[in-house]
Structure 1
């Protein structure tokens, strides 16, 4: 299973890196995402896009415009913390990903927008292999939404018992819901 996951991760990273119409795809994700009822929630935990990931900057700006409360992740050891984002400076953190400055809060956000390398129609998610989001999701009642380009939707993501399925995946073409 681990070999399957490693091969799929490598393939998806290469496909994403080669994607040339990213801006148009990001716009499609934005439109599809904000057409969903779960976006009426009040608190959002949103990843800061990195490298070739689906862009979250415009999403965060729109959440602010709509008066929503936004938290960004910060890695502390093997866990992710929620840090309220109000526009403060970001600094490079674990893995070179930009993270917010400020105090972490013990909060369960309504919606978590999640990065991924691949997902399937069951809403199984293939992440980067660190387990940070799976650990973050444990014992929390929140809406888990992956952001992906349509080519990241595969027939089947190899899932292990520790893998937490998403509730939905938004792409530029559609929004998939877990059955």
Structure 2
């Protein structure tokens, strides 16, 4: 219940942002466990006419975003993740994505994040000019995230309490 309430507050902050309002094509993670719940973001964006892509991971360590028509396109894969059935015709080209919503275990106010360790997002973010927004609970904002040269910083971080501009 707390996850749902905080996620809804984050969603409300997000949809007021010009970066969201102007975006025609959004890439968004599909939340699992206690991550900021993205189901409402995904469905409402689709309902408002935005194109939405969700991650499809490959065994070679690469990740693409694939357009979906709705949450019903998702199926369980591994580690509790839900992905659409891979379809190369629906893969979003990185230069067509206006905004990407990114999960993290922790973020700092300089825009650095700690991910889940696979490096999928760092590799993808290096290939796109999309506005990068981290979705986070306030308690996940820490003083300093150790940063590597290949780490890609967020442009903004949205919590239930604030929008952090980097």
Q: For 1:106 and 1:52, locate their aligned partners in 2 and report how far apart those are by CA, in whole Å.
A: 27
5+ residue gaps, structure 2: none
CA offsets, 1:2-39, max 9 Å, x none?
Answer: xxxxxxxxxxxxxxxxxx62222111101111111101
Q: TM-score normalised to the size of structure 2?
A: 0.90
Q: Which runs of 4+ in 1 moved over 4 A?
A: none
1:53 alignment partner, SS class: coil
Q: How does 1:22-171 map to 2 (within 5 A)?
A: 22-40=3-21, 41-77=23-59, 78-87=61-70, 88-104=72-88, 105-108=91-94, 109-171=97-159
2:79 alignment partner, SS class: helix
The answer (yes or no) to whether the contact 2:66–2:92 under 8 Å persists in 1 is no
Aligned-residue offset at 1:102: 4.2
Give the total of aligned pairs. Answer: 159
The answer (yes or no) to whether the contact 1:75–1:94 under 8 Å persists in 2 is no
Give the aligned CA root-mean-square deviation in angstroms. Answer: 1.3
